[in-house]
Amino acid sequence: QVQLVESGGGLVQAGGSLRLSCAASGRSFSSYIMGWFRQAPGKEREFVASIGYSGAGTRYADSGKGRFTISRDNAQRTVYLQMNNLKPEDTAVYYCGRSIVMPSTTRPQDYASWGQGTQVTVSS
């Protein structure tokens, strides 16, 4: 069973950058499609980005295209989300999860092993 721990969130001004990390414990990390999601107060959890087994096959929500980059290091069992040009509307708790369906989707119910999340706050 894989366990995920997110980190790297914080308070940043609009236009700034953050790099989120999601560290996995357990085996078979490289066999999982991984995804980043976010949840703002009062809103549903929404898809941000996903990445295939070897780092190929990335997918992004329209909100993050051109600003966010997802990557992974299977040797370190870690997936990253580089976020540039952050906007106040990016404020949310960010979660990573592993896909439990194939092909992967953008629906949070198709992911599991959620961590505790990491708070990202972007001030205007």
For residue 51, the number of C-alpha atoms closer than 13 Å in the C-beta half-sphere is 21
Question: Is the peptide bond prior to 103 cis by the omega test (within 30 degrees of 0)?
Answer: yes
Q: What is the pLDDT of residues 21-73, one digit of tens each?
A: 999 998 789 999 999 999 999 999 999 999 999 988 999 999 999 999 999 99
Amino acid at site 79: V
